Structures are given as C-alpha cells and as structure tokens.
C-alpha cells in the first residue's frame, strides 16, 4: 500500500513510549479501504500505535463552496493571503529568524502556510520573506490549487504589508494578513474573521484580556488601572478589503504615520474595525517560553492522541 506524507501539524500520533520527542522517520499516512467513511491512519513513528481519524477529503472535485452571513458571501478563491515571514526575531536569541525554527520538526512558518492553502476561499498566498528562504515555501507547496507568490520584506512591518499588497491579484475581494510566527491559528477562526471582514470592510481576530492591566508613568509608578472589560488583545489574521487597505496606505504614506498592526492603517481613515473573537491558543511565538507553550499546545507526544486542526 502506497504511503505519503502530510504537513506536520496535520499528523497525529499516540506513541507507546513518550520518552523521546525526536522523530526518526517521516510520518506515514495510509488510506484504509472498505470503510464506511474515508479514514486516514496516521503515525509519526514506525513503532507507535496509530490513531484513526475521519477524513473528509474526496478524490472527486467538489462543487463551488461559499460561507454565508447576512447575505454576504466569502466566495471560493476570492481571498489573497499576505503571510509575513520576513522578521528577524531578535528576542528569540536564535541564529535564524524565529519563523524558521523547527516546531516538532517543521519550520514554524509552514504551519499557517498549510492551513491557508487547505482553505477553498484562498486563491493565493503571498509570502513576504527574504529570498534566501523562498525554497522553504516552494518545497512545501506541493499540488495545492492556490497560487504561491513572493514579495520582499520592508524595513518596518507596514512596509512589508505594503510590498505584499502590491503582489495581490487585483480581483481579490479580501486581503488576509497573517504573522507566520502564529502557527496555531485555526481555520474555523480564519473563516469567521473572513466573513466579518467582508461584512464590515475590516476585521481582526482578538481575545478578551484576562489579566489586570495598569498604566504606569516613566518612573514605573501606577497611574491608573484600565477596565479590562473593554480591552482586547489583537491577533492575526487581520482582514481588510483591498481598496480600503490601499486608501489607508495612501494616507499613512502621505502623512508619514507609523502603525504597529494592519487594521491601524484603516483606523486612520476613521473606518470602523470589527473584532472577531478568536482562540487563546493562537499565540505568537516570540521567545523561547512561547516555543515551549506551542509545543505543549500541540502535545504531539501525548499518551492520548489529541485531534489537531485537520483542514482536509
């Protein structure tokens, strides 16, 4: 029976021994015939106990699909993703940028890369990265239907987003901007923010702030305690209609403004931005502690297999 490999974050394993986290062999995925529903057997070690998961992938082409909300529709192949992978990651203290560090054997940037390429709404992924890392994404693309493009990173984040925007297909209805250092974004959350972006012109994933936040002065004395009921921590993707994003960049460039996230560009136009509630697991891997947390969330070597987001 023929075997083939699947992107790392789509693999499941229930190992008979959890003493080693290293992977000696590439995972094997076998189609099991004569079952009531398509099933995939996935095992990341040759001596491990396989787990069975349902697989909705079909060999036949699927009809046009849409996501509907209030009369608005996110159409198939209507979204351009700008995947930001050009940062240096100095806080990680590694010799290579953090988005290319291995997380359970796969570069961090490839986790969300595969997530987007598995979504029928996505027509193209524009990876903003140093040319020396393009082969990482070219080798991973495989036979995905969506197109892979590249753009050069800029000095600041907004410059990188602008460069990515220039490569976007003019017919795209939405631009979906994502930090490649957020490997654990769920496709269900992406679909929610895409729909909200289409409805409102601009939307961003976020989660309510849990901690107490205090404002301090320059001498580190508390000035006031902020009401956390009104505070949200912003994540990515951030979804914006392309014509709105272009207008925002015209204003930002004309007035020499600096912004720290993408929807701030739209905020300068006084356009409302909708916050789509996401998941707390959609962390940004910035420090070694974040890497450990991401590994715990994935929990690949758990004695009991956990079902990771499967986007087939």
Which CATH number goes with the domain that contains 249?
Answer: 3.90.550.10
Please tell me whether residues 238 and 148 are part of one structural domain. yes
The model's pTM is 0.74
Last residue of a domain, one of 59, 81, 106: 59
Rounded CA-CA distance 254/307 in Å is 48
Residue 284 within any structural domain of the chain: yes
Beta carbons of 83 and 128 less than 8 angstroms apart: yes
Q: What is the pLDDT of residue 69?
A: 44
Please tell me whether residues 47 and 84 are part of one structural domain. no
Q: What is the pLDDT of residue 73?
A: 84
Q: What is the pLDDT of residue 30?
A: 32
Residue 51 within any structural domain of the chain: yes
Q: What is the pLDDT of residue 140?
A: 96
For the chain, 312 residues long, give each residue's pLDDT as a single digit of tens: 444 444 444 443 333 333 333 333 333 333 333 434 333 333 333 333 333 333 333 333 334 455 554 457 899 999 999 999 997 756 565 678 999 999 988 999 999 999 999 999 999 999 999 999 999 999 999 999 999 999 999 999 999 999 999 999 999 999 999 999 999 999 999 999 999 999 999 999 999 999 999 999 999 999 999 999 999 999 999 999 999 999 999 999 999 999 988 999 999 999 999 999 999 999 999 999 999 999 999 875 444 433 344 443
Please tell me whether residues 88 and 42 are part of one structural domain. no
**Number of structural domains the chain divides into:** 2
**Considering just the CA atoms, what is the radius of gyration of the chain in Å?**
21
Please tell me whether residues 113 and 129 are part of one structural domain. yes
Complete edge-to-edge strand list for the sheet that includes strand 51-54: 28-31, 39-43, 51-54
- Short-list 161, 176, 162, CA closest to 81: 176
Q: What is the token pair recorded at 99?
A: 């988005």
Q: Would you call 97 exposed, middle or buried from its count of C-beta atoms within 10 A (0-12, 13-18, 19+)?
A: buried
Residue 138 within any structural domain of the chain: yes
Q: What is the pLDDT of residue 53?
A: 30
Please tell me whether residues 161 and 33 are part of one structural domain. no
Give the rounded distance of the alpha carbon of 275 from its chain centre: 17
Please tell me whether residues 79 and 46 are part of one structural domain. no
Give the rounded distance of the alpha carbon of 255 from its chain centre: 31
Please tell me whether residues 55 and 71 are part of one structural domain. no
Its domain, for residue 12, covers 1-59
Please tell me whether residues 156 and 31 are part of one structural domain. no
Residue 276 within any structural domain of the chain: yes
Please tell me whether residues 193 and 281 are part of one structural domain. yes
Q: What is the pLDDT of residue 68?
A: 52
Rounded CA-CA distance 50/133 in Å is 34
């Amino acid at each position: 029976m023929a075997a083939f490999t699947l992107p790392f974050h789509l693999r499941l394993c229930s190992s008979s021994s959890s003493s080693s986290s290293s992977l000696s062999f590439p995972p094997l995925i076998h189609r099991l015939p004569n079952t009531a529903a398509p099933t995939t057997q996935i095992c990341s070690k040759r001596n491990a106990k396989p787990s069975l998961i349902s697989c909705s992938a079909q060999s036949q082409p699927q009809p046009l699909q849409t996501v509907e909300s209030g009369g608005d529709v996110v159409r198939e192949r209507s979204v351009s993703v700008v995947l930001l992978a050009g940062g240096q990651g100095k806080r990680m203290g590694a010799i290579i940028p953090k988005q290319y560090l291995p997380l359970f054997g796969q570069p961090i940037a490839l986790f969300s890369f595969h997530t987007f390429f598995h979504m029928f709404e996505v027509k193209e992924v524009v990876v903003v990265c140093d040319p020396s890392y393009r082969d990482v994404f070219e080798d991973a693309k495989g036979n995905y239907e969506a197109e892979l493009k590249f753009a050069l990173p800029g000095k600041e984040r907004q410059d990188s987003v602008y460069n990515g925007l220039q490569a976007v297909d003019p017919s795209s209805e939405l631009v979906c901007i994502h930090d490649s250092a957020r490997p654990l974004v769920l496709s269900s959350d992406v679909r929610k923010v895409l729909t909200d972006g289409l409805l409102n012109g601009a939307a961003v994933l976020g989660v309510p702030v849990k901690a107490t936040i205090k404002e301090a002065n320059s001498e580190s004395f508390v000035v006031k305690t902020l009401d956390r009921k009104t505070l949200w921590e912003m994540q990515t993707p951030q979804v914006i209609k392309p014509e709105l994003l272009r207008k925002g960049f015209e204003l930002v460039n004309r007035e020499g403004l600096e912004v720290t996230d993408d929807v701030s560009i739209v905020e300068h136009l006084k356009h409302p931005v909708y916050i789509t509630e996401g998941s707390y697991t959609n962390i940004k891997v910035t420090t070694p502690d974040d890497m450990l947390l991401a590994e715990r969330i994935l929990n690949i070597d758990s004695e009991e297999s956990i079902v990771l987001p499967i986007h087939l």
